[in-house]
Copies of this chain bind each other. A is one copy, B any other.
Amino acid sequence: MRPATFHVESSCGAARAGTLSLPHGSIPTPAFMPVGTRGTVRGVTPAELREIGTTIVLANTYHLWVRPGHEVVRTLGGLHTFMAWDGPILTDSGGYQVFSMSDRSVVSEKGVRIRSPEDGEWRVLTPETSIEVQEALGVDIAMAFDECLEHPATRDRAARSTERTTRWLHRCQAARAFPERTAMFGIVQGGLYEDLRRAHAQELVEMDLDGYAIGGLSVGESREELVAYASLSASCLPDDKVRYLMGVGQPVDIVDAVLAGVDLFDCVLPSRAGRHGQAYTTQGRVNLKNARFATDPEPLDADCDCLACRTVSRAYLRHLVRCGEILGKRLVSLHNLALYQRLMRDLRAALLAGDPVALAALRTRAELASGRAPE
Contacts and interface: CB of A to CB of B under 8 A. Distances in A.
Interface of A: 38-40, 42-46, 67-68, 72, 75-77, 82-84, 275, 294-295, 297, 307, 311-313, 315-316, 318-320, 322-323, 325-327, 329-330
A325 B42 contact: yes
B329 A38 contact: no
10 contacts: A39-B319, A40-B327, A42-B326, A43-B327, A67-B323, A76-B313, A82-B319, A83-B312, A84-B311, A326-B330
Given A43-B327, A68-B315, A83-B316, 20 more contacts: A38-B319, A38-B325, A40-B320, A40-B325, A42-B327, A43-B43, A43-B330, A45-B327, A67-B322, A67-B323, A68-B294, A75-B295, A76-B295, A76-B315, A76-B316, A82-B313, A84-B311, A84-B312, A84-B316, A330-B330
A68 B329 CA distance: 17
B315 A72 contact: yes
A75 B76 CA distance: 51
A325 B67 CA distance: 12
A59 B204 CA distance: 59
B326 A326 contact: yes
Contacts of A294: 68, 72
Contacts of A323: 38, 67
Contacts of A313: 76, 82
Contacts of A322: 67-68
A83 B40 CA distance: 26
B76 A307 contact: no
A319 B67 CA distance: 7
Contacts of A327: 40, 42-45
Contact of A326 (B43, B67, B75, B295): B43
Contact of A72 (B46, B295, B311): B295
A312 to B, nearest CB: 5
Contacts of A75: 295
A334 B318 CA distance: 23
A42 B327 CA distance: 6
